[in-house]
């Protein structure tokens, strides 16, 4: 049985594989309906470590839909491709304006910043793009995951599980997160 929550993950060439696959996998385990949308099409996408992922659909086919959350993965080139895309900006703005969750990991927050989402909010990112986020006017934190209202950010591949759990907690509840951890052998620190 699935829950009624829907998440859009936008996949661009150069994305960091773990920052795509881990959140998609974990949210699907929580019975969240996750749509992996290819930026340019529904054809295979080569990621940053040359792993090829197959999107469920093309972004253009779901760009007018409203989801409960949108996730922007990192990877320097993937984030740049998302930052430079007008449709991504429109999707993020529509969701942000509707109070939906916008999440980004690693270099992904730079795409959120480029599209003017959540200006002034508390965020984190990969350390290599910290200055970009500060120059864009965000309140920067070095926490592994930062939740500021409907904006959720995380630092990199090693925080992908934590980002997924933060999204599940925001979309469903903390109990849904705790129910997943034993079967996945997640060790709480």
Contacts of 27 (CB under 8 A, 6+ apart): 7, 34, 164, 167, 168
| Angle subtended at Cα 90 by Cα 88 and Cα 91, rounded to the nearest 5 degrees | 65
Determine which one of 106, 146, 171, 180 is catalytic: 106
> Cα–Cα distances in Å, from 14 out to 47, 62, 87, 160?
4, 21, 18, 17
**Token pair in block for residue 119:** 């200006």
**Token pair in block for residue 74:** 């990192």
| Angle subtended at Cα 88 by Cα 4 and Cα 135, rounded to the nearest 5 degrees | 115
As a whole number of angstroms, the distance between CA 129 and CA 76 comes to 9
* 106 noted as active-site residue: yes
Nearest to 183 by CA among 19, 24, 30, 2: 30
Active site residues: 106
């Amino acid at each position: 049985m699935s829950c009624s929550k829907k998440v859009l993950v936008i996949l661009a060439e150069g994305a960091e594989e773990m920052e795509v696959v881990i959140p998609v996998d974990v949210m699907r385990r929580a019975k969240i309906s996750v749509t992996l949308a290819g930026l340019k099409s529904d054809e295979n996408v080569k990621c940053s470590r040359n792993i090829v992922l197959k999107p469920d659909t093309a972004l253009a086919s779901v760009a007018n839909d409203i989801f409960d959350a949108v996730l922007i993965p990192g990877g320097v080139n993937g984030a740049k491709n998302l930052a430079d895309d007008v449709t991504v900006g429109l999707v993020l703005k529509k969701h942000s304006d509707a109070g939906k969750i916008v999440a980004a990991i690693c270099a992904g927050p730079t795409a959120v910043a480029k599209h003017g989402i959540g200006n002034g909010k508390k965020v984190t990112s990969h350390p290599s793009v910290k200055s970009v986020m500060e120059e864009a006017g965000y309140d920067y934190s070095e926490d592994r995951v930062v939740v500021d209202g409907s904006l959720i950010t995380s630092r990199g591949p090693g925080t992908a599980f934590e980002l997924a759990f933060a999204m599940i907690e925001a979309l469903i509840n903390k109990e849904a997160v705790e129910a997943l951890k034993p079967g996945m052998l997640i060790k709480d620190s």
